[in-house]
Amino acid sequence: MRLPIHIVTGFLGSGKTTLLRRLLASPALADSAVLINELGEIALDHELVERVDESTVVLAGGCLCCAVRDDLSGAIRGLLGRRDRGEIPCLRRVLIETTGLADPGPIVRTLVAEPVLRHHACCGNIIVTLDALHGDGELDRHAESVRQLAAADFILLTKTDLAPDGRAAAAEDRARALNPVAAIRRASSVDVAELLQPSGDDAGARLSMSAAGELHHATESHTHGAIRARAVCLTASTPIDWSAYGLWLSMLLHCHGPRVLRSKALLHVAGLDAPVLVESVQHTVHAPVHLPRWPSPDRRSRIVVIVDGLPVQSIEQSLAVFCDIEADLQSVPSGGTAAYS
């Protein structure tokens, strides 16, 4: 079993530290390691029971907490080595808490592309906090906030108790328009165990809901031009050729790179009875996941691509041509709009 590594991120002041405190207090994280930028960023002193070395402490619940000051890859390899030598408790997962301005893309690329990490660990869920009070303004002004939400598997709304009537709902609608396949939860009531579960079957189920029209497009905004994000949501009834889809995705990422913020597809591959889940974050493509079963009776392929300023028509047309499904490819009707400038 490869060690799952989850990423906890969110814009400055969005509540990452509060969420992390709650996660660390949960028994579900007793066999986990948490990598944070500096131990001083979170008040842990009253919980420390053992210092393993200058950068590592063991918390009262058994969770290991490490400071990452330089190389993330080196920090993870060090944890794996100490675990294998019996110097630290056995780990079942690692959480990485990023800075508020971090782009998850390079972190995912490190986890997927670095040979040692790829052999011993795998990328888990990307958990993003969104401030219900100030999230709209952050999305308007900061490309980092948009990229974080676009990469998310889970979006956790924070400060909902402080938000005026309707503000939290508006933030949720905007987050769903940008990332239709992320699970959106209230941070105050989220199930910690849910955040740590492998995303395969759950992600497939969320993509499956596209058939019911629960995916939304996000329209472009030219107000400031910092970033123009939209979700392109497509379905196809015809089984898709695996090689053709892989070539299309590779070419899309090669040509447009970081402008493709995220893609997620539940594919009905020709010749297979069960679906294949394929995900990418910017340049990085995760290993395909062969799901044991379809999450619903609907057997259509569902493809979501979150792009920065790319024309929707070019995504649709190129996919149709590469996979020879032009007559069958359909855009999921928009259920709402959201602008990101």
Assigned domain for 49 exists? yes
Q: Please give the sequence-ordered ranges of beta strands (E in DSSP) within the chain, or none if there are none.
A: 3-10, 32-36, 48-53, 56-59, 64-67, 93-97, 121-131, 154-158, 183-186, 229-236, 260-267, 276-281, 284-285, 289-290, 301-308, 330-331
Q: 181 with 235, same domain? A: no
The DSSP bridge partners found for residue 334 are: none
Closest listed residue to residue 265, CA positions, set 249, 284, 244: 249
pLDDT of residue 55: 54
pLDDT of residue 199: 64
Which of 198, 225, 250 is the C-terminal boundary of a domain?
198
Mean pLDDT of all residues in 180-209: 78
Q: Tally the domains of the chain.
A: 2
Structure tokens at 257: 């790179």
List Cβ neighbours of 241 (8 Å cut-off, separation of 6 or more): 269, 270, 323, 324
CATH code of the domain covering residue 94: 3.40.50.300
pLDDT bin (cut points 50, 70, 90) of residue 276 is very high
For the cut 70, the answer to whether the pLDDT of residue 155 exceeds it is yes
For the stretch 22-50, pLDDT in tens is 887 788 888 888 887 654 444 444 343 34
Assigned domain for 339 exists? no
Which of 168, 198, 228 is the C-terminal boundary of a domain?
198
Mean pLDDT of all residues in 10-26: 84
Sheet with 64-67: strands ordered across: 48-53, 56-59, 64-67, 32-36, 93-97, 3-10, 121-131, 154-158, 183-186
Lookup result for tokens 């040692």: 116
Q: 159 with 254, same domain? A: no
Lookup result for tokens 């990023």: 98
Assigned domain for 122 exists? yes
Assigned domain for 114 exists? yes
The DSSP code sequence of 81-125 is: HHHHTTSS---SEEEEEPPTT--HHHHHHHHHHSHHHHHHEEEEE
For the stretch 294-322, pLDDT in tens is 988 889 999 999 998 888 888 988 999 99
The DSSP code sequence of 6-23 is: EEEEESTTSSHHHHHHHH
Q: 298 with 252, same domain? A: yes
Q: 257 with 155, same domain? A: no
Look at 99-103, 121-125, 303-307 and tell me which has the smallest mean pLDDT. Answer: 99-103
Q: 11 with 110, same domain? A: yes
Assigned domain for 337 exists? no
d(CA 308, CA 226): 10
Mean pLDDT of all residues in 213-228: 44
CATH code of the domain covering residue 284: 3.30.1220.10
Q: 157 with 260, same domain? A: no
Please answer whether residues 153 and 182 qualify as being in contact, where contact means their C-beta atoms are separated by less than 8 angstroms. yes
Domain range enclosing 18 = 3-198
Which of 151, 174, 198 is the C-terminal boundary of a domain?
198
Q: 234 with 266, same domain? A: yes
Assigned domain for 336 exists? no
For the stretch 238-263, pLDDT in tens is 999 999 999 999 999 999 887 899 99
Q: 191 with 283, same domain? A: no
Assigned domain for 83 exists? yes
Q: 49 with 162, same domain? A: yes
Q: 193 with 249, same domain? A: no
Q: 83 with 110, same domain? A: yes
d(CA 172, CA 166): 10
Q: 9 with 116, same domain? A: yes
pTM attached to this predicted model: 0.80
Assigned domain for 206 exists? no
